[in-house]
Structure 1
Amino acid sequence: MNKLVIAFWSLLLIPTFSFAQEELFNYGEPKEYELGGIKVTGADYSDDNAIISISGLRVGDKLRIPGPEVPKAIKALWKLRLFESVEILKEKTIGDVIFLEIVVQERPRLTRHSFTGIKKSFHDDLNEEVNKHLLKGGIVTENVKVNASEGIEKYFVEKGYLDTRVTVREETDTSRINAVGLVFNVDRGNRIKIQDVTFSGNDNMGLWLKDSGSNTVGGNYIGTDAAGSSAIGNGAAKPNVLVETADNYIGGVTGTPGLAPGNVISGSEGNGLQLASASATNNYIQGNLIGTNAAGTAIQGNGV
């Protein structure tokens, strides 16, 4: 059967129309037809009647081929963002009556998602994050995948993993028609550590852990000079270290794998170290010298 194919391709950022044919049409003299019928193929999830209605084509209408009516119908369907491709084919003609077939390839639907590259202890938090962007049974688009991936990256960046990278791939779900699962592979990189820094002479706190937890603070001089031998206090009545987040490592034990060395936290007019929020839980504070010099041999007290 000869068919006129009017295809709308999604390969370019700016939509273009491509015309192909197996019988000769005079593009200088379009022919007018009466639309005798429309059928839809390829729609597993979308309603056929809704597709026809949105196309704007109506049985009994007059349309020209070649002409503007069919490209306009394709563009209207493409704007829905439900389909990876849209074609309108000439099924048959009977005299001056034409019968058309709308052929769509739907975007896949989401059935599940999973994570690789991270421990299961993170999965509950990440599920909460990606579920802001994913809908089971919903359409999988590039925007959906990008937004979910960025949500995962943001989660780990807030925990100090500033080099987090997330990639996502689709896996066909053979249990359903045109369905996929998404697999997010997470590479956290290394957590950023605050180490070998001198925090002194500020008008406010020396160090304030405020918005994101899971920080490692070690080997620093806070409220002293760079040698840890003289007090150079931070702001009046302010703590040297103010902690308002959870899961931080402040100090450690020298020589212990994975732990930074301790800090010198001295010379403040306020508290040396203060846990100042109900959310400041599960913090590990160990191996620090608080209120002494770096050698631990002389008092460099904090104010409170």
Structure 2
Amino acid sequence: MSLHLPSEIVVERVLPTIRVCLAGELANRGMTQQEVAEHIGVSQAAVSKYISGDVAVEERIEDHPLTAETVTRIAEGFASGHMDGYEALDELLALVRAFEDRGPVCELHEEAMPSLAGLGCDLCVRGTDERLAAERETLTDVRTAARILATAPGMATYVPNVGTNVGSALPGANDVSEVAAIPGRIYAVDGRVEIPANPEFGASRHVATVVLAAMAQDDGLRGAVNIATDDALLSTARARGLDPMEFDAEYDDRNQRLLDRFASRDVVPRVIYHSGAFGIEPITYVLGETAEDAARLAVSLLETVQEAE
């Protein structure tokens, strides 16, 4: 893996583009190239290239509305004499910080380091902290679980028409936004399981609802996978002593109904299911301490069913 610091992105691609934009704006306000050079800290020859367009720019920075707003404020301040270099630097630092906060710098950084994709990286803003580490671990958990499902023989037949998903919650999660899942769900295409995107927090309300209800009763259960309800798979779960729990398929107030059902049991079951309703496909949820744990249990149950056929 090639390491690229966010500061490299800023120095090599962001600041040069901002200088080009600022040079053009100052020139449009009647400043000479030498005056522009003195204001932005480059040579007159560099300003000449900036103004002539003989320099590459990063379009995502150049076209961003925050760039236009900041450049206009600085140009007006310099032209009127109401802004000095210190104040202009403050404006630029605020712009860079905004771009680093899940903005274009993050996009450029992910392109330079593909391993960052989907992490919702906050290194520039918050630095390394326990919460960030937990978020990364949770996203990794979902990616691992999704790969397990995608590579399991026969899993495509257990993907519902509405798609499958896999979710993993942050420790102590109490909101859908704290449960990571696959955006757009996982689908079966030509007998294969397709994962359309990297995991994100808040990507699946249905899986998150089940995970959060389970966590309210047992905070050790933070992962879940949903698959099509199948009598043979449920029988296999019963044979293993997992005691699947049936619940009402309706979406209205599902969280509270699940909370009530879980509270009626001493132990939250690892397999819960519904038989569908009007417009609602029968779905089974397999729970685990992690999403990976849930995925491995789902695949294990599937393999037993396949062996018995």
**TM-score, normalized by length of structure 1?**
0.26
Which structure: greater helix fraction? Answer: 2
**CA radius of gyration, larger in:** 1
Higher RCO (CA 8 Å, separation ≥ 6 residues): 2
Which structure: greater strand fraction? Answer: 1
**TM-score, normalized by length of structure 2?**
0.26
